Amino acid sequence: MPNVICWFRQDLRLLDNPALTDAAAAGSVLPVYILDDENAGEHAMGGASRWWLHHSLNSLSSALGDNLAVYQGDPLPILQQLITEHDISAVFWNRCYEPWRIDRDRTIKETLEQSGIEVETSNGSLLWEPWETVKADGDPYRVFSPFFRKGCVKAHPPREPLPKPESLSLIKVTEHQGVDALSLLPTIPWHEQFEPHWQISESAAHQRLQEFLAQGIHDYKEGRNFPAKKNVSRLSPSLHFGEVSPNQVWYAAKSMHSGNDLEHFLSELGWREFSNNLLYFFPHLPEKNLQAKFDAFPWRDDAEALERWQRGMTGYPIVDAGMRELWQTGYMHNRVRMIVGSFLVKNLLLHWRHGERWFWDTLVDADLANNSASWQWVAGSGADAAPYFRIFNPITQGQKFDPDGTYTRHYIPELKDVPDKYLFNPWDAPPAILEKAGVELGSTYPEPIVDVKASRESALAAFQSLKANVNG
């Protein structure tokens, strides 16, 4: 049989892996992973993602009988050397959709094919290819609902998941760098507090999926808004790294459920598709406002305010709880992501890119498409974005979505004895109540960094000035 390479990237699994399936059918397979920080530039993985990748690669290598060849550097010369050393006739990979990867992969494919090497690429990351979900005139959708209803669901059903290859003959490479040589773990042991919150492997991703479908998807439509409830799947990091495919999630959910909760869950998978679609057609999404009028927005420059937001020390408990959940677990509940995002760009008037970069470094599910599209949505500058004048009130959001304070008290233990009535606005509590709760504002817990009402008015005034500039 000929020798072929299966180049693993964001598809760290054996089940439903089109590239691996095709490679296994073509010959003896050399499984390869290459950490490419050179071509990634500023989009090289952040610290939390690298921690996740470390464990995911170890798990994949174990599943392959410790036969995963791991390297670091520019993939083209590495692949060329492996092709020469092992008499490789073909290279298989699943497509990635970040702009820098598209450019890199195009060059690699052209170069290898010019030297007589067959290159086959597949879709292992999305339910639908971006070019399959455009409007009738060929333009991409910029509004989610028609994108999902017309561009996706009515186009064709997603590909059904593939089984693990029945026969997989592996080529063993002893001289490679190995996972540990990638130095993916942070030098400061910040990541150690992540450990109790995650199991990282293909099998763990499927277990998490089954637990969600057995328990969490019930009341998903409403329950997903409450961070203390277990109504979210927490599958986002496994979807990003490909320990589970969206096709597997889609069909597993449809096989077990129906009704509104299922439809809302599938639409969240649709948002993931929409974000990737936006990034594919608008490759400057991570850096530039999709709506150019926001280029003139009068953002503030306040390093101290940014640091207090990052540390969960704004004085607004639901915001601080979310930022501390992020730091302690590498994850944040989706409703709270919207709250902390709104607070940064609207109450603090800090550029959305500050939030995008912080999330990129601290989220285990940091994904270029999801992260940039979501921040632009919150800021009002993106596609189908929340109107800029929609400003989340951190007090009422906490009262509505964490009514008994379970989530907030968990991450802000210094407020655990504050009565529910004042939990989200402790500055309004009578001094005797704060004293009884052991809270001294400005000492044990910070004073509010801004006034909610005044900062809201400032945000609206800034937006009005932007509209005036556009109209002028």
Active site positions, annotated:
268, 271, 299, 334, 352, 375
C-alpha span between 108 and 381 (Å, rounded): 34
409 CB burial (10 A radius; 0-12, 13-18, 19+): buried
Rounded to 5 degrees, what are φ and ψ at 94?
Answer: -95, 140
Q: Is the Cβ–Cβ distance between 348 and 455 less than 8 Å?
A: yes
Q: Which residues of 27-58 are buried (b: 16+ CB within 10 A; e: fewer)?
A: bbbbbbbbbbeebeeebebbbbbbbbbbbbbb
C-alpha span between 251 and 10 (Å, rounded): 20
C-alpha span between 14 and 166 (Å, rounded): 11
**Helix 317-329 and helix 352-362: axis angle, to 10°?**
40
C-alpha span between 455 and 346 (Å, rounded): 7
Ramachandran class of 6: left when φ > 0, alpha when ψ lies in -120 to 50, beta otherwise = beta
CA dihedral 155, 161, 167, 171 (to 10 degrees): 80
305-309 long-range contacts, CB within 8 A, separation 24+? 305/348, 305/350, 305/449, 305/450, 306/344, 306/348, 306/350, 306/354, 308/446, 308/449, 309/340, 309/343, 309/344, 309/348, 309/350, 309/449
- CA angle centred on 67, ends 63 and 70, rounded to 5°: 105
Percent helix, percent strand, percent coil in the chain, to nearest 5:
55, 5, 40
Please count the other Cβ atoms lying within 10 Å of the Cβ belonging to residue 413: 10
Q: Which helix (H) or strand (E) covers residue 352, if one does?
A: helix 352-362
Neighbouring residues of 324: CB distance < 8 A, sequence distance ≥ 6: 312, 411, 412
What sign has the CA pseudo-torsion 38, 41, 47, 50?
A: negative
C-alpha span between 245 and 272 (Å, rounded): 12
Please count the other Cβ atoms lying within 10 Å of the Cβ belonging to residue 284: 11
